[in-house]
Structure 1
Amino acid sequence: MSKRKAQPVVATGVAGLDEILRGGLPASNLYMLQGAPGAGKTTAALQFLRAGVEAGERCIYVSLSQTAAELKSIALSHGWTLDGIRIEELSASDAVNGAADQTIFQTAELRLDETRQAIELAIEEHKPHRLVYDSLLEIRLITGDTPRFRRELLGFKAFLAQRKVVALLLDTQTNEAASNGEEVEGIAHGVIRFDKSLQDYGSVRRRIEVSKMRGVPIADGYHDMAIREGEGVVVFPRIVPGEAVDSRKPQLIKSGVDALDDMFGGGQESGTTTLVIGQSGTGKSTMASLYSTAALKRGETVALFLFEERLETFFRRSEGLGMDLRQFHKDGQLIIRDFNPNEISPGEFAQIAQSIVKDFKTRVVVIDSFTGYLNSLPHRDKAVRDIQSLLKYLARSGVLTMLIVAQHGLLGQNVGIDVDVSFLGDTVLLLRIMEDDGRLRRNITVVKKRHGPHDLNVHELLIESDGVKVVPFNPLPTP
Structure 2
Amino acid sequence: MAVSARLPEIVVTKRKIAKPVATGVAGLDEILRGGLPPSNLYMLQGAPGAGKTTAALQFLRAGVEAGERCIYVSLSQTAAELESIAVSHGWTMDGIRVEELSASDAVNGAADQTIFQTAELRLDETRQAIEKAIEEHKPSRLVYDSLLEIRLITGDTPRFRRELIGFKAFLAKRNVVALLLDTQNGEAMNGEEVEGIAHGVIRFDKTLEDYGAVRRRIEVSKMRGVPIADGYHDMAIREGQGVVVFPRIIPGDASDVEKPELIKSGVETLDAMFGGGQESGTTTLVIGQSGTGKSTMASLYATAALKRGENVALFLFEERLETFFRRSEGLGMDLRKFHKDGALVIKDFNPNEISPGEFAQVVQSIVKTDKTRVVVIDSFTGYLNSLPQRDKAVRDIQSLLKYLARSGVLTMLIVAQHGLLGQNVGIDVDVSFLGDTVLLLRIAEHEGRLRRNITVVKKRHGPHDLFVHELMIQGSGISVVPYNPLPES
TM over 0.5: yes
- 2:266 aligned to 250, 256, 266, which one? 256
CA distance in 1, matches of 2:50, 2:269: 55
Per-residue CA deviations over 1:333-362 (Å, capped at 9, x if unaligned) read 011000000010101100000000000000
CA distance in 1, matches of 2:38, 2:249: 27
Per the alignment, residue 49 of structure 2 pairs with: 38
| Residue pairs, 1:37-436, within 5 angstroms | 37-91=48-102, 93-94=103-104, 96-97=106-107, 111-173=122-184, 178-180=188-190, 183-409=193-419, 413-436=423-446
Return closer, same or farther for 1:181/1:52 CA change in 2, 3 Å cut-off. farther
CA shift, 1:179, in A, is 2.3
Per the alignment, residue 28 of structure 2 pairs with: 17
- Secondary structure of the structure 2 residue equivalent to 1:239: coil
Number of residue pairs aligned between Structure 1 and Structure 2? 470
- Secondary structure of the structure 1 residue equivalent to 2:338: helix
- Secondary structure of the structure 2 residue equivalent to 1:428: strand
CA shift, 1:408, in A, is 1.7
CA distance in 1, matches of 2:104, 2:399: 53
CA shift, 1:229, in A, is 0.5
Letter in 2 for 1:123: I
CA shift, 1:141, in A, is 1.4
CA distance in 2, matches of 1:107, 1:375: 48
Per-residue CA deviations over 1:52-82 (Å, capped at 9, x if unaligned) read 0111111000000000000000000001100
CA shift, 1:174, in A, is 7.0
CA distance in 2, matches of 1:416, 1:94: 65
Larger displacement relative to structure 2 (165-174 or 186-195):
165-174
- Secondary structure of the structure 2 residue equivalent to 1:131: strand
CA shift, 1:125, in A, is 1.0
- 1:463 aligned to 458, 470, 473, which one? 473
Return closer, same or farther for 1:5/1:277 CA change in 2, 3 Å cut-off. farther
CA shift, 1:94, in A, is 3.8
- After TM superposition, the score normalised by the length of structure 2 is 0.92
CA distance in 2, matches of 1:321, 1:459: 20
Per the alignment, residue 459 of structure 2 pairs with: 449
2:185–2:203 Cα contact (<8 Å) kept: no
Letter in 1 for 2:377: I
Letter in 2 for 1:221: G
Larger displacement relative to structure 2 (409-418 or 259-268):
409-418
What 5-or-longer segments of structure 1 have no aligned partner? Answer: 101-105
2:157–2:192 Cα contact (<8 Å) kept: no
CA distance in 1, matches of 2:205, 2:273: 48
Give the RMSD, CA atoms, in angstroms: 2.3
Per-residue CA deviations over 1:148-204 (Å, capped at 9, x if unaligned) read 1111100100010111100000001279x8224761210000000000001111100
CA shift, 1:146, in A, is 1.5
CA distance in 1, matches of 2:105, 2:331: 74
CA distance in 1, matches of 2:38, 2:162: 23
What 5-or-longer segments of structure 2 have no aligned partner? Answer: 1-11, 111-116
- After TM superposition, the score normalised by the length of structure 1 is 0.94
Q: Structure 1 residue 26 and structure 2 residue 23: aligned?
A: no
CA distance in 1, matches of 2:132, 2:73: 11
Letter in 2 for 1:140: R
Per-residue CA deviations over 1:377-397 (Å, capped at 9, x if unaligned) read 010000000000000000000
